[in-house]
Amino acid sequence: MKPAVLLDTSFLICLFDRQRAAHTVARQYYRQMLEAAIPMYLSAIVADEISTRQQLTDLPLKNFRPLPFNIPHAILSGRLSQALAAQDGEDEGAPVPVRGDIKLLAQAEHEGIPLILTEDANTLYHYGERLRLAGQSQVRTVLLSHGYAPEALRPDGQRSLDF
């Protein structure tokens, strides 16, 4: 897979809010993506979430590729939600995981976007890792609290070997 990144709401908040603990890390990743011309996707779901906090036009929209949420994404989102419920041994009446996060994972998986940048360790990162480790998804979530690691934006996440 070629490098490409889906940006989570929490990443964008960290990027533009200097008071956030992960602000510097978010800026480092953003700079790396710009310099390496790594496509940055902005989901309609994230655009909606951002719009509740600030004007969407405050973002550098020209640097992002818009990604609408469509029927194939919805179908895969439902399957991923079911896979998580099955992992937990829950029946159909059990609580549903945070739907927006599952929708983002489904979009990235369906579109072949190998990475999601996020600050959200409790849901998006957690669900993403569970699905990836279970073989239900190939999408890796890069957590800002892990610090800046340039190799994290490689689709395989592998560090280069220095000889």
**C-alpha distance from residue 38 to each of 53, 102, 118 (Å):** 26, 23, 16
- pLDDT tens by residue, 113-132: 999 999 999 999 999 999 99
User: What's the pLDDT score for residue 59?
Assistant: 87
H/E stretch holding 107: helix 99-111
Q: Are 59 and 47 in contact (CB under 8 A)?
A: no
Cβ atoms 16, 7 nearer than 8 A = no
pLDDT above 60 (res 108): yes
H helix or E strand, kind and range, residue 141? strand 140-143
The span from the CA of 37 to the CA of 154, in Å, is 13
- The Cα 8–Cα 119 span in angstroms is 8
**Residue ranges of domains in the chain:** 5-150
CA distance 82 to 74: 12
Domain 5-150 has CATH 3.40.50.1010: yes
Type and span of the H or E element at 142: strand 140-143
The pLDDT of 128-149, averaged and rounded, is 95
pLDDT-derived band at 160 (thresholds 50, 70, 90) equals very low
Where are the extended beta strands (E) located within 33-114? 40-43, 65-67
